[in-house]
Amino acid sequence: MLDDALNGGFENPPVQSSHAFRAALSALARPGRVERIMGAEAPGLSEAAATLLLTLCDAETPIYLAPGHDSEALGQWIAFHIGAPLVGPSHAMFALGAWDALMPLTGYPVGTPEYPDRATTLIVEVEALTPPTARLTGPGVETVARMRLPETDPFRANRALFPLGHDFFFTAGEQIAGLPRTTIVEDL
Amino acid sequence: MTDQTGATTSDYNFAYLDEQTKRMIRRALLKAVAIPGYQVPFASREMPMPYGWGTGGVQVSAACLTPDDTFKVIDQGADDTTNAVSIRKFFEKTADVETTEHTQDATIIQTRHRIPEAPLTEDQILVYQVPIPEPLRFLEPRETETRKMHALEEYGLMHVKLYEDIARHGHIATSYAYPVKVEGRYVMDPSPIPKFDNPKLEMAAIQLFGAGREQRIYAIPPYTQVVSLDFEDHPFDPSKADAPCDLCGADHTYLDEVIIDDAGGRMFVCSDTDYCAGRQAQGHRGRLSPEAAE
């Protein structure tokens, strides 16, 4: 926790962000795998979520802060360290918050058939990334992977939109897991 | 280089690119991984080397490298050609990373037009240099149209092209940059790798493709289904020169043909120099090995 908007950034941005990106890349390329990601601190955020924001976001990436994470302190921290505009869900490139607060998923862009990459990436703050509750198959998974998810139905609906859809990062403490739109999610 | 406090002092930012550029490339890479085979547009930068020399691959490598990485560069399988040597030196200078010529020691491998013979592991990333990322470009020159064709999954034209190959030559004569379909959705250009390498596209490592001049990034996550396009009566055939390597005797590797005299004499050698050297060190010998020639 941190209440000063000027603190909490990387001490050595090029090196720390490179390690953080590799953790995020590995997490998204291998659904179900939990990676460690750290180096940044922001008011009311896990270290993983703060580090991910600092690694991926800048003035070109509108961010939506869901209720519960839309504090003034976090807004000031983002303004100082990232400079990203804070917007509503329909214009967000990144959305950040707890699962229930981020709902409904229909409020976020899913991309267009010509540009499916223009879809929101959701960063979901969770209490823990274990124990697993869902069974994953698809790209990045050799046979079957397991992962803790808040629900499974929304991810099935998301998969049905492919190649459109949302991509997710789940963050807790120093840990991060990824779930791209391609993953087939089933109840465990 | 380090100063008195132990901090790195370099005239360049770590891995050359500025941080905002790296964030932009990293966002594109994550979307590319999320949509396998889809070409994500990115704002490619001018690099201190000409287009066509791997500027796309260099930018992807720069966005991925950490100081802990061990970096390998191959050009048509070889570690010791101009392109590979200069890119390796570029990152030795700007990112201060370890470099290697051994496939199994590398964590990031940048490649031009080959996949290493040795199987890659989950801990590795393979970065391709891509000249023309759009597999449909020579069939339809307009970007607006090819984008629509990808959106509608309209790939009939590509099958017509392969069929015309059969009509003209009796078999599918495309031997490199052989189109593949990724995860049953996007038709993708695997960069000009020989079609011999196509079956290796399903692997444990993350594969990232960077096209600098064309400003596109795409990716294949590990264990993703990659199918080479073909027909039931003309199945895909990952062919190679019908000969063993003349230096290490391998009969399962992709070979380069080398002219060795003015009388039409020639030899075949492994295109993957590290793999060939490793086999020779293990005692494998080919037709023209120094011992055999004596």
Domain count, chain B: 2
Backbone angles phi, psi at A28, to 5 degrees: -75, -30
Together in a domain, B91 and B38: yes
Q: What type of residue is B259?
A: I
Listed residues B228, B246, B267: the one ending a domain: B228
User: Which residue on chain A is closest to B146 by alpha carbon?
Assistant: A114
B186 and B286 in a common domain: no
ipTM higher than the 0.90 cut:
yes
Chain B: give the shortest CA distance to residue A67, in Å.
Answer: 25
Could you tell me if residue B277 is inside a domain?
yes
Q: For strand B206-211 and strand B108-112, is the pairing parallel, antiparallel, or unpaired? A: unpaired
**Do residues B273 and B168 both lie within one domain?**
no
Q: What is the pLDDT of residue A159?
A: 97
Beta strands A134-137 and A184-187 are antiparallel
B15 has a chain A CB within 8 A of its CB: yes
Domain boundaries of chain A, sorted by first residue:
13-176
The answer to whether the Cβ–Cβ distance between A140 and B66 falls below 8 Å is no
Distance CA(A134)–CA(A187), nearest Å, equals 5
Tokens 């590797």 found at: B253
What is the CA B144 to chain-centroid distance, rounded?
A: 27
pLDDT of B6 reads 47
Residue B7 lies in a domain: no
Domain assignment of residue B136, given as a range: 19-228
Residue B266 forms part of a structural domain: yes
- CB count within 10 Å of CB B105 equals 13
pLDDT digits (tens, 9 = 90+) for A101-128: 999 999 999 999 999 999 999 999 999 9
Q: Quick count: other Cβ atoms within 10 Å of Cβ A113?
A: 13
* B288 and B196 within one domain: no
Distance from CA of A157 to the nearest CA of B (A): 16
Residues of B acting as catalytic residues:
37, 245, 248, 270, 276
Residue type, A181: R
Q: Which residues of A touch B10 (CB under 8 A)?
A: none
Same domain, B130 and B209: yes
B181 CB within 8 Å of a chain A CB: no
Minimum CA–CA partner of A33 in chain B: B122
What pLDDT score was predicted for residue B126? 98
Q: For residue B52, how many other CB atoms are within 10 A of its CB?
A: 12
Give the start-end residues of each E strand in B144-230.
Answer: 180-182, 186-188, 206-211, 216-220, 226-228
Q: Do B34 and A26 touch (CB under 8 A)?
A: no
With beta carbons less than 8 A apart as the criterion, state whether A138 and A168 touch. Answer: no
Which of B228, B247, B267 marks a domain boundary? B228
B271 and B166 within one domain: no
List per-residue pLDDT tens for chain B, 294 residues long.
Answer: 455 554 556 788 999 999 999 999 999 999 999 999 999 999 999 999 998 899 999 999 999 999 999 999 999 999 999 999 999 999 999 999 999 999 999 999 999 999 999 999 999 999 999 999 999 999 999 999 999 999 999 999 999 999 999 999 999 999 999 999 999 999 999 999 999 999 999 999 999 999 999 999 999 999 999 999 999 999 999 988 899 999 999 999 999 999 999 999 999 999 999 999 999 999 999 999 887 655
Residues B80 and B217 in one domain: yes
What is residue A152's predicted lDDT score, i.e. its pLDDT?
96
CA distance B189 to B44: 19
* Same-domain pairing of B60 and B176: yes
Q: Say whether both B86 and B44 belong to one domain.
A: yes
pLDDT at residue A62 greater than cutoff 90: yes
Domain match, B282 and B181 both: no
B62 domain-assigned: yes
Q: Does domain A13-176 have CATH number 3.40.50.11310?
A: yes
- Determine whether the interchain pair A14/B19 forms a contact, defined as Cβ–Cβ distance below 8 Å: yes
CB contact under 8 A, B67 and A162: no
- Mean of the per-residue pLDDT values for chain A? 96
CB contact under 8 A, A13 and B67: no
Which residue, of B211, B228, B245, is where some domain finishes? B228
Burial of A184 per CB tally in 10 Å (0-12, 13-18, 19+) = middle
Please enumerate residues of A whose Cβ is less than 8 A from a Cβ of B.
Answer: 13-15, 17-19, 21-22, 24-26, 28-30, 55-58, 60-61, 112-117, 119, 121, 138-142, 162-163, 167, 180-182
Q: Which amino acid is at A130?
A: T
Cβ of B64 within 8 Å of Cβ of A22? The answer is yes
